[in-house]
């Protein structure tokens, strides 16, 4: 596969995952803050910005923040910017994806570009809901129609590397906020915040199936980090990343396994043998930072090994 094709598939998948995550966060935040006082609203919006690793615009209220995170193309991580970037990457590799994938991605792009802040602010779910559904539909079509060969594995890599970064950033922002205010409990208003964290990762129902509705911060951390069966957990993502890299290594037999495969194996082991009580006792922020650092190493190694490699290094093997 041409390196430019692999690069476009990888980034198309990352941008779609980022857009779906942002849509979920905004939909949930706008609904949660309807009946809450101003201090809680400010705190929740700050948590959203921290989780997306974005600075807060000066003197921004909820209306302006929604505009900034949804439509502002100067913000490369805004929802519309991400979907536009995903469509641009898909357009460069039309021959590598199915017509159904392109059709639904194009429909999603046209839908987000037709709207504006005035039309969505009072009814956010009517706008963000179809974006989430559209993203899930594209992912489902990709998995059920596209051949599970080299291109599909680059899509998997993009999706799950992005998901690890988004999930760990969200966990980090939430735990830092709750620890700072001594609210590491699950009662009253705090219960709503912890449930919101699970819903932000589309994991509330699956969490309840595992632990019932007994909401405990350490169990939330365990579920979102270490659960081996939930596709939203970091451990599940680590396994998928390693599997895709091993498959790509077999497909590209002329390229011997490189740093990407070694980093992925070490990353998976970090999660396979972790215990939540040790994570919580040591420092969950440091643990999450370490996960993000390892994921960044995998991303860089994938780029160097499959995207930006030199002809000489390829022929050498």
**Domain range list for the chain:** 1-146, 149-317
Amino acid 121: pLDDT: 78
HSE value, Cβ hemisphere, 13 Å, CA-based, for 148: 8
Amino acid 169: pLDDT: 96
Summarised one tens digit per residue, pLDDT across range 201-214 is 999 999 999 998 88
Could you give the CA distance from residue 170 to residue 205 in angstroms, rounded to a whole number?
18
Amino acid 183: pLDDT: 54
Amino acid 314: pLDDT: 46
Amino acid 127: pLDDT: 93
The Cβ of residue 27 has, within 10 Å, a number of other Cβ atoms equal to 20
Amino acid 185: pLDDT: 54
Could you give the CA distance from residue 191 to residue 215 in angstroms, rounded to a whole number?
7
Which of 249, 196, 185, 156 minimizes the C-alpha distance to 32?
Answer: 196
Amino acid 38: pLDDT: 72
Most trustworthy range by pLDDT among 34-38, 115-119, 190-194, 223-227: 223-227
Average pLDDT score over residue span 144-153: 95
Which of 308, 307, 274, 267 minimizes the C-alpha distance to 290?
Answer: 267
Average pLDDT score over residue span 125-146: 95
- Tell me, rounded to whole angstroms, the distance of Cα 13 from its chain centroid: 10
Summarised one tens digit per residue, pLDDT across range 61-112 is 888 999 999 999 999 999 999 999 999 999 999 999 999 999 999 999 999 9
Radius of gyration of the chain (CA): 20
Torsion over CA: 50, 55, 61, 62 (sign): negative
Amino acid 315: pLDDT: 44
Structure tokens at 62: 């909820």
Amino acid 49: pLDDT: 93
Inform me whether the pLDDT recorded for 154 exceeds 80: yes
Summarised one tens digit per residue, pLDDT across range 155-192 is 999 999 999 999 999 999 999 877 765 555 554 457 88
Could you give the CA distance from residue 42 to residue 34 in angstroms, rounded to a whole number?
12
Inform me whether the pLDDT recorded for 317 exceeds 50: no
pTM above 0.85, yes or no: yes
* Angle, vertex CA 236, rays to CA 257 and CA 198, nearest 5: 145
């Amino acid at each position: 596969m041409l390196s430019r094709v692999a690069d476009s598939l990888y980034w198309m998948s990352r941008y779609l995952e980022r857009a779906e995550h942002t849509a979920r966060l905004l939909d949930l935040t706008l609904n949660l803050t309807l009946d809450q006082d101003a201090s809680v609203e400010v705190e929740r919006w700050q948590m959203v910005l921290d989780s997306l690793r974005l600075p807060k615009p000066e003197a921004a209220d909820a209306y302006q923040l929604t505009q900034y995170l949804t439509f502002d193309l100067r913000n490369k991580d805004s929802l519309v910017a991400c979907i536009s970037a995903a469509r641009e990457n898909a357009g460069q590799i039309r021959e590598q994806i199915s017509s159904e994938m392109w059709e639904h991605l194009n429909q999603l792009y046209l839908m987000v570009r037709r709207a504006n802040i005035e039309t969505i602010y009072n009814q956010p779910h009517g706008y963000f809901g179809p974006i989430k559904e559209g993203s899930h539909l594209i992912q489902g079509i990709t998995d059920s129609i596209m051949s599970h060969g080299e291109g599909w594995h680059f899509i998997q890599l993009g999706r799950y590397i992005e998901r690890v970064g988004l999930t760990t950033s969200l966990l980090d922002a939430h735990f830092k906020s709750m620890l700072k205010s001594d609210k590491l409990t699950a009662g009253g208003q705090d219960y709503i915040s912890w449930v919101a964290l699970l819903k932000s990762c589309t994991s509330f129902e699956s969490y309840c199936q595992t632990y019932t509705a007994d909401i405990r911060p350490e169990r939330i951390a365990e579920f979102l980090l270490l659960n081996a069966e939930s596709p939203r957990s970091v451990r599940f993502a680590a396994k998928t990343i390693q599997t895709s890299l091993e498959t790509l290594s077999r497909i590209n037999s002329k390229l011997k396994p490189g740093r990407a495969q070694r980093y992925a194996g070490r990353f998976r082991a970090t999660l396979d043998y972790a215990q939540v009580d040790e994570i919580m006792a040591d420092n969950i922020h440091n643990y999450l930072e370490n996960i993000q650092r390892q994921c960044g190493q995998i991303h860089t190694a994938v780029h160097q090994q499959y995207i930006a490699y030199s002809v000489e290094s390829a022929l050498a093997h």
